[in-house]
Amino acid sequence: MLQAQGTGGGGLSVLVLQMVAIGLVFYFLILRPSSQARKKHAELLGNLKKGDEVMTSGGIIGKVRDIREVESDGVKETRVTVESGTASLIVERSRIVRIGGAGAPSSPGTPAS
List for the chain the helix, strand, coil content (%; round to 5).
Answer: 40, 30, 25
At 103, is the pLDDT very low, low, confident or very high (cuts 50, 70, 90)? very low
Percent of the chain with pLDDT over 70: 81
Q: Mind listing the pLDDT tens digit for each residue in 37-88?
A: 889 988 888 888 898 899 998 889 999 999 998 888 888 888 999 998 899 9
At 1, is the pLDDT very low, low, confident or very high (cuts 50, 70, 90)? very low
Angle at the Cα of 105 from the Cα atoms of 40 and 65, rounded to 5 degrees: 65
Question: Tell me, what's the pLDDT at 2?
Answer: 45
Distance CA 113, CA 110 (A): 9
Distance CA 92, CA 96 (A): 8
Distance CA 4, CA 37 (A): 50
Question: Tell me, what's the pLDDT at 82?
Answer: 92
Mean confidence (pLDDT) of the chain: 81
CB 98 within 8 A of CB 82: no
Is 49-99 a domain of CATH 2.60.120.280?
no
Give the residue extent of every domain in the chain.
Answer: 1-46, 49-99
